[in-house]
Chains A and B, each alone.
Chain A
Amino acid sequence: MYRYDTYDQAMVDARVAEFRDQAQRRIDGKLTEDQFKPLRLMNGLYLQLHAYMLRVAVPYGTLSGAQMHMLGDIADKYDRGYGHFTTRQNIQYNWIKLEEAGDILADLASVEMHAIQTSGNCIRNISSDHYAGAAADELIDPRPYAELLRQWSSFHPEFSYLPRKFKIAVIASKRDRAAMRLHDIGLEIVRNAAGELGAAFYIGGGMGRTPMVGPLIRDFVPLDQLITYSEAALRVYNRYGRRDNKYKARIKILVHELGKDEYARQVEEEFAHLLEQNVEPPLAELERIKAMFADPAFKPGLPTKADRTDPAFALWMDRNCHAHKTPGYISATISLKPVGGIPGDASADQIRLMARLATQYSFDECRVTHAQNIVLPHVEIGQLHALWQQLDAAGLATPNLDQIDDIIACPGLDYCSLANARSIPVAQQISERFAANGKADAIGELKLKISGCINACGHHHAGHIGILGVDKKGLENYQLLLGGSEAEDTSLGKITGPGFDEAGIVDAVEKATDVYLAQRTDGERFLDTYRRIGMEPFKEALYG
């Protein structure tokens, strides 16, 4: 994984000093809250429903054991003993004090971490495939390209005051495990007909109030022009994105209103101009970064089968593990979705345990997934049982990856001042309902996502089943959506009809799965059956 050189370290250290100065000026009254707010947001510090919340960046979801360990220590030292892993592969702490925020950033900087640009109208954390470097189906590890873009986007002098936030995802496989088409810019690393590596650019995806699947804007940008093209795309957005209406300010609105061909043409014009301006790092820089993402020292000749005598272990292995490109290895998902638990939350002790397990079992590396779980990417199959035993003892071995109780949920009204309704209790009740009715295994793959408001941080538009919390005359109410997908078959969910109260939405989810179980044909997932039979049978079951 990437390691800072002295230049990178100097930048984060300078940022810590800058933020300490800004926070002190706020505390001393030299800055008003209106002046301070954009500055603290650029360091991921929100003022939330209960306290300041800090969102720490986890670039493309990758963490070393030492970094993961520090995240656990921060939870203990500065917060209330836990952290929340988010749908953008970051971590959030909910009980931060402004007067300690500088110290937290300094602690993070000591392990090559930061909270730079995790909020604000700027380029945010760049996300990627949580199986990067491990998956058999990837063309190449996408993360070096994400790292190149990360450095380009950090403290970018032209793009720090965009019309709105800007989210980028990078993948390098046909299987889209990063919801790439639902980002402001999604890059897929590809080979052209001549066998050269480059990137396809999808621009204008996103969720929120007006969800859109990002259209293909350019099918191939050579590797040595990625930064120049990205710069062109951002400049057109910075110049022409709407600034009159906060809810129409994302790039998806610009691409939609111009039309993708006109937007592509404007970017092409700017791109041709910028190619003369020497903004592109040399390929040697990409090679330098790539060298840090070389394969770890995989051992040859390892056993390719595990001892499956223990049925609980065998179940977990079947559910939560993903095939690895190297024989003898496997990628393991640590579920942060225990039955009735808070999706994505982990205690400081659990975080430190996962750090130790990453060091012990996975070449000192772990990943945060956008589904709010943790992956150990490179585990020897022969050691999988020993790993599982430690996870099981710590409540981290729920065998539910991609099942109905592997719920993605935003923090919702329990934590977030933007929310209209609570999302976590709904997640807990659905999780408990399906533990009780025993239908989760029969249902199989079902991606259920819950957002507490239209901002869609729970990605409800992209759920096979999605739930949106709304305010109905001061009461919490929940809309049900069906048929969304975040994968390469990207689609946006459709609302079933009138909303439900909290008890009603849990029943509604169960009814929808009952329709699926009754109507499915061989091998169909919930999503496939919905796409085949349409909304009507579900509406009938829900509303009679």
Chain B
Amino acid sequence: MAEQLGTGHLGTGADTVQLRFRDDEQVDHPAVTVDAFVDQSNATAVRIEPGDDARALLGHLDRIALVEVNFPTYGDGRGFSAARILREAGYTGELRAVGDVLVDRIDAMRRCGFDAFAPDVPLDEADVAAAFARFPEVYQAAADGRVPIWALRHG
């Protein structure tokens, strides 16, 4: 379940993937909607909108190489749940946050299982590094495999 996070590097694609923490080939064809994906047996990239049910993809995870999760407005936190649900279900492909991706949320996004980020407005890379390094430990178990403080306390 935990992803090995490699060094980030700039990627290109329909959405400008500014940060990607994977070593495999980036999917370079567009993602289809959840509805279209379920109908199309050859699609390998799907885009989840806030109102979509990520669990509609369960049972198809082995043919998906890329899931984009759209964050159209800052305050809509449904994408965090969608991401965690997919990782909990065993999805190991790219999980890309697109849209209103701000540096102050990027650490929470990574904790929820995102390993690629395509923000509408490019992020300052120094700010991103600071955001990822900000909190030395975490209180909760999430999708990133980081060991929560309660586990550190009790071995």
Contact = CB atoms under 8 A, between A and B. Distances in A.
A and B touch in the complex (CB under 8 A): yes
A67 B130 CA distance: 30
Interface string A1-31: 0000101101100110110011000000000
A11 B152 CA distance: 14
Contact of A158 (B112, B134, B149): B112
Interface residues of B, number: 36
Given A10-B137, A152-B139, A235-B81, A285 B150 contact: yes
B112 A157 contact: yes
A21 B130 contact: yes
B74 A38 contact: yes
Contact of A7 (B77, B112, B137): B137
A322 to B, nearest CB: 34
B26 to A, nearest CB: 24
Interface string B92-103: 000000000010
A49 B142 CA distance: 39
B108 A157 contact: yes
| From B74, B135, B140, residue with most partner A Cβ within 10 Å | B140
Interface stretch (A129-137, A159-167, A480-488): A159-167
Contacts of A11: 135-137, 139, 149
Interface residues of A, number: 39
Contacts of A156: 139-140
A35 interface: yes
A378 B86 CA distance: 50
A285 B153 contact: yes
A39 interface: yes
A351 B107 CA distance: 38
Contacts of A152: 139-140
B154 A285 contact: yes
A492 B137 CA distance: 43
A455 interface: no
Contacts of A347: none
Q: Please give me the 7 A-B residue pairs with the lowest Cβ-Cβ distance, nearest first.
A: A161-B77, A157-B111, A281-B150, A157-B108, A158-B80, A285-B150, A7-B149
12 contacts: A7-B152, A11-B139, A11-B149, A14-B135, A14-B136, A152-B139, A155-B135, A161-B80, A238-B81, A285-B150, A285-B153, A288-B154
Interface of B: 50, 53, 74-78, 80-81, 84, 88, 102, 104-105, 107-109, 111-112, 130, 134-142, 148-154
